[in-house]
């Protein structure tokens, strides 16, 4: 069974903390990887793509280890507005449908 698995969470952290999320995927043929953010009862929104060389977007850093089939997301200097569920997503198939992890809930407290 093809799956994307994430840390169960929830993560409760104070403002300014650094927090890391992990994700593993089972399909070694997967080629594209993303982190999405989903706020309560809303649609998921793309946070960032994940590239083999690792990539950074402001306070967010994503890493990919193809050999271990492992993806990570690091958030530095957490803000209250970062509170959400973070979804690890893998694109598969010729038509490119997305396989979602269950998500990890982050709650940033003042």
Partner 1 sequence: GAVVSQHPSRVICKSGTSVKIECRSLDFQATTMFWYRQFPKQSLMLMATSNEGSKATYEQGVEKDKFLINHASLTLSTLTVTSAHPEDSSFYICSARDDTSSSYNSPLHFGNGTRLTVT
Q: Can you name the residues that pair with 22 across neighbouring β-strands?
A: 72
| Cβ(110)–Cβ(15) below 8 Å | yes
In angstroms, rounded to a whole number, what is the distance separating the alpha carbons of residues 37 and 44? 6
Could you give phi then psi for residue 24, rounded to 5 degrees? -125, 150
In angstroms, rounded to a whole number, what is the distance separating the alpha carbons of residues 49 and 38? 15
- Select from 12-20, 45-53, 60-68, 69-77 the region that touches partner 1 (CB under 8 A): 45-53
99 lines the binding site for partner 1 (CB under 8 A): yes
Q: Which of 42, 59, 66, 109 binds partner 1 (CB under 8 A)?
A: 42
Tell the smallest beta-carbon distance from residue 22 to partner 1 (Å).
Answer: 16
Q: Which of 16, 26, 39, 45 binds partner 1 (CB under 8 A)?
A: 45
- Select from 10-18, 43-51, 55-63, 70-78 the region that touches partner 1 (CB under 8 A): 43-51
76 lines the binding site for partner 1 (CB under 8 A): no
28 lines the binding site for partner 1 (CB under 8 A): no
Q: Which of 31, 52, 57, 65 binds partner 1 (CB under 8 A)?
A: 31
| Cβ(92)–Cβ(4) below 8 Å | no
| Cβ(72)–Cβ(55) below 8 Å | no
């Amino acid at each position: 069974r093809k799956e994307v698995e994430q840390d169960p969470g929830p993560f409760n952290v104070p403002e300014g903390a650094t927090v890391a999320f992990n994700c593993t995927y089972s399909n070694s043929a997967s080629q594209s990887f993303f982190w999405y953010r989903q706020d309560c009862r809303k649609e998921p929104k793309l946070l960032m793509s994940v590239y083999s060389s690792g990539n950074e977007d402001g306070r967010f850093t994503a890493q990919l280890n193809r050999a271990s089939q492992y993806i990570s997301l690091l958030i530095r200097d957490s803000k209250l507005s970062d509170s959400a569920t973070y979804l690890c997503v893998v694109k598969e198939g010729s038509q490119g449908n997305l396989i979602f992890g269950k998500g990890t809930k982050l709650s940033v407290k003042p």
